[in-house]
Structures are given as structure tokens and as C-alpha cells.
Amino acid sequence: MAKDKTNVESFDLDHTKVVAPYVRLADIKRGANGDEVYKYDIRFKQPNKEHMEMPALHSLEHLTADRIRNHTDKVIDLSPMGCQTGFYLSLINHNDYDDVLRILAATFEEVTKATSVPACNEVQCGWAASHNLEGAISLAQSFLAKQEEWPIVFAQ
């Protein structure tokens, strides 16, 4: 099946060739004043084979977005993928891949010790009824258990 080139890097990635879990530098944007934004593809689940259930993913998003800022002040955004297989992490002026892996490991270690989901209420969250702390912790534990695989994006 032929595929047309798009304006979205992740749409042009051959999802049949990647092997989750992994952490991949997906894009770099350079600003007019010299700033650089690094976008990472943090893939938890194998595309088109498995996905994260929405309440667990939602809680993991809240926990990760909160806890990652304990380990770096370079975070612009952490966003879940619509396909429910991972997240995008955008960092400003931080191009050290090994340090990104360290930041993620420290963050997910914190997530595994969480006793509640931050901002899990109707004032701070747009769908506060859709959370699962235990599911989020399980996802973080599974991802951490395969940490040595994070740098491997494509099947050999």
C-alpha cells in the first residue's frame, strides 16, 4: 500500500517497523533567535498491536507532566498520542539524549510511588472521572522494566 508524504513527521514514520518500547528524537525546530525545541516520541505500546487504556493513560499523563518538572526545567509540553501508544515530550534547548533517558527514568520511578493523581478533580481536569492510578503505575513499571530497550527504535 502506497502512502503519501504528509506535513506530520509521525505520520510519515513506518509504524510497522518500530519496536516499542522506545524513546526517539522525532523532530528539532529551530527558532529565529537560536532556541531549539526537541520533540521526543516516548512509545509505550507497539503500534497497531496494543494500546494504553484511556483512564490509565490519562492518569499517567497527569503524573508524568507533574513529576518530570522535578527533573528538568526544559519541559515545554508532554502530550499523549491519540493512538494511545505513547507520549510526545517537547524540551527547549536540551539535546542530550542520554540525559533525556535519565530524566524519564527518574520521572517514571516517581510515578511508581504515587499515592494520588495530581489535578484529578473537576476544577483542574477536563474529564476528572476518567482516571486510574493503579493502571498508570503499572504502565510506568512496565516501561521502566524495559529501560535497556528504550534506545532501540527499529527491529534488527
Q: Is 131 annotated as a binding residue?
A: no
Measure CA of the first residue to CA of the last residue in the chain; give whole Å: 22
Residue 29, classed as helix, strand or coil, is: strand
Please give the Cα distance from 47 to 15 (Å, whole number). Answer: 6
Decide: helix, strand or coil at residue 37. strand
The answer to the question of whether 125 is labelled as a binding residue is yes
Q: How far is CA 66 from CA 13, 69, 103, in A?
A: 29, 6, 13
Q: In this structure, how many other beta carbons lie within 10 angstroms of the beta carbon of residue 91?
A: 23
Question: Is 62 labelled as part of a ligand binding site?
Answer: yes
Residue set of the binding site: 58, 62, 125
Q: Show binding-site residues for Fe cation.
A: 58, 62, 125
